[in-house]
């Protein structure tokens, strides 16, 4: 008999499979990122039709012991559905793409699941979108082991001085730099997640550098889409 499991999840990505089915990548609360086949999901009369939507928490049941499991039931909570999502689609697609590329398969990440759920709630509540994104990016890096040392200058091993300026070096941390306006005080504020006290351009530069390093030079499709929209 096939093993059956129930879980909460968020849809990260989907792609067609055969004429009627869909393969989905989901981020589950209890089992991390997994792949599922939703058989017949393209058919309008399918029990899955219209339910496989991103950015809403789904309740699912699935079976199977192989890497590709079979979706057997699905439900979702529509109480949080708002029109706000259309205004922030780029940011949400970008975060989903990061999770697809950076999350290991079948690795339990309950804390990160809760962070992602909180991120979506704050987006719907129309919090400052850019700051909300920076909080999540930094927490994502920490959760996946890509965080960096906020305490020590990587060249001198001296404590970060709030009165000096520093530059960020991917994977390593911060070094003293007279060519930067990014201060030791900014670094401490980031460490303490007091992000509203840090200039947004510095936050963006830091997280972009760190994420680019994690991606090993690979481009994110969502960034390309955003650039084409801005043009």
Model confidence over 131-183: pLDDT tens digits? Answer: 999 999 999 999 988 888 999 999 999 999 999 999 999 888 999 999 999 99
- Cβ-contact 54, 11 below 8 angstroms: yes
Q: Does the pLDDT of residue 87 top 90, yes or no?
A: no
- Cβ-contact 69, 62 below 8 angstroms: yes
- Distance of CA 136 to CAs 19, 116, 200, Å? 37, 8, 14
Distance CA 184, CA 169 (A): 14
3-state DSSP percent of the chain in helix, strand and coil, to 5: 35, 25, 35
Q: Does the pLDDT of residue 125 top 90, yes or no?
A: no
* Both structure tokens of 117: 């759920």
Tokens 């589950």 belong to: 28
* Both structure tokens of 157: 């091993």
Tokens 């991103």 belong to: 54
For residue 194, count CB atoms less than 10 angstroms from its CB and return exposed for 0-12, middle for 13-18, buried for 19 or more.
Answer: exposed
* Both structure tokens of 19: 């004429």
Beta carbons within 10 angstroms of residue 14's beta carbon: 17
Using a pLDDT cut of 90, give the percent of the chain over it. Answer: 63
Distance CA 77, CA 73 (A): 14
Write the pLDDT tens digit of every residue in 190-206: 999 999 999 999 999 99
- Distance of CA 55 to CAs 26, 74, 102, Å? 11, 15, 18
User: Phi then psi for 90, rounded to 5 degrees?
Assistant: -60, -50
For residue 156, count CB atoms less than 10 angstroms from its CB and return exposed for 0-12, middle for 13-18, buried for 19 or more.
Answer: exposed
Distance CA 75, CA 230 (A): 36
More confident residue, 193 or 229: 193
pTM score, whole prediction? 0.85
∠ CA 142-203-110, rounded to 5°: 25
Q: Does the pLDDT of residue 2 top 90, yes or no?
A: no
Write the pLDDT tens digit of every residue in 47-63: 898 889 899 999 999 99
What is the 8-class DSSP label of residue 118? H
What does the mean pLDDT of the chain come to?
87
């Amino acid at each position: 008999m096939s093993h059956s499991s129930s879980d909460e999840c968020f849809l990260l990505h989907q792609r067609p499979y055969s004429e009627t089915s869909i393969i989905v990548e989901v981020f589950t609360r209890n089992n991390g990122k997994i792949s599922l086949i939703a058989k017949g999901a393209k058919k309008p009369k399918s029990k899955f039709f219209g339910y496989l939507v991103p950015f809403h928490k789904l309740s699912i049941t699935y079976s199977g012991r192989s890497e590709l499991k079979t979706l057997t039931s699905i439900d979702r909570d529509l109480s949080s559905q708002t029109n706000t999502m259309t205004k922030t689609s780029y940011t949400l697609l970008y975060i989903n793409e990061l999770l697809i590329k950076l999350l290991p398969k079948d690795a339990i990440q309950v804390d990160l699941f809760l962070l992602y759920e909180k991120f979506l709630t704050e987006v719907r509540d129309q919090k400052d979108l850019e700051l909300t994104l920076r909080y999540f990016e930094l927490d994502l890096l920490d959760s996946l082991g890509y965080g960096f040392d906020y305490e020590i200058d990587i060249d001198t091993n001296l404590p970060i001085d709030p009165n000096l300026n520093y530059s960020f070096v991917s994977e390593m941390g911060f070094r003293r730099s007279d060519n930067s306006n990014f201060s030791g005080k900014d670094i401490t504020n980031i460490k303490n997640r007091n992000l509203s006290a840090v200039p947004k351009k510095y936050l963006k530069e830091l997280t972009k550098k760190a994420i680019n390093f994690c991606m090993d030079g690979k481009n994110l499709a969502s960034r390309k889409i955003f650039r084409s929209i801005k043009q």
